[in-house]
Amino acid sequence: MKIRSINIIAAFALLLYLLIPTSANAAAINDHHQADQRPVQAFDVVEGKVVKTIPNSPQFQDYAKAWLKGVTGLSPKLQAEDKCGYVFRIPLDQPTAVKAGSEQVMTQDVFLFYCPKKPQLLLIFDENRKPYLLKFKANIKPFLKAMDL
């Protein structure tokens, strides 16, 4: 059951990955960003679609990197019927090392699973696209405010 749950989560994340163009609109990028910086996106789980796309920025990079530093371990299984809230995708400006259980993996994207009244979770993929569902401790309220959802 744990593998199936992770596969469902990975399917959401891969859907977001496939829906995002490989380069962002240069007009929407700040001067200090590379032209290929991918945007931050919010996927509404209930609606089954991306509901918001905004330019990536150092602020979003800082949020994602702080979450990764706050990882407390691998998450227990997530029930497949947990269909509420949002999945946020924050592409990192460079691959980042993350302690996932007993392993250290490199990731280029951070997916935040946010469902009110449930523990927030992170999903990352290693360089071989193996998923890791992680528990973490961090205040996500500033991020949610910046996303304005």
CATH classification at residue 28:
3.30.1490
| % of the chain at pLDDT higher than 70 | 72
* Mean pLDDT of the 79-97 span: 85
Residue 108: other Cβ atoms inside 10 A: 15
The residue type found at 93 is D
Which domain covers residue 39, as residue numbers? 2-147
**Does residue 130 surpass a pLDDT of 60?**
yes
**Does residue 77 surpass a pLDDT of 90?**
no
Residue 57: other Cβ atoms inside 10 A: 17
In sequence order, what are the residues at sequence separation of 6 or more whose Cβ sits closer than 8 angstroms to the Cβ of residue 89?
13, 16, 17, 20, 40, 41, 43, 109, 110, 111
**Does residue 54 surpass a pLDDT of 80?**
yes
Structure confidence at residue 122 (pLDDT): 94
Confidence of residue 5 (pLDDT cuts 50, 70, 90): very low
Structure confidence at residue 80 (pLDDT): 44
DSSP 60-81: HHHHHHHHHHTEEEEPPP--TT
85 vs 15: which has the higher pLDDT: 85
DSSP 16-35: HHHHS-SS--GGGS-TTS-T
Confidence of residue 36 (pLDDT cuts 50, 70, 90): low
Number of domains present in the structure of the chain = 1
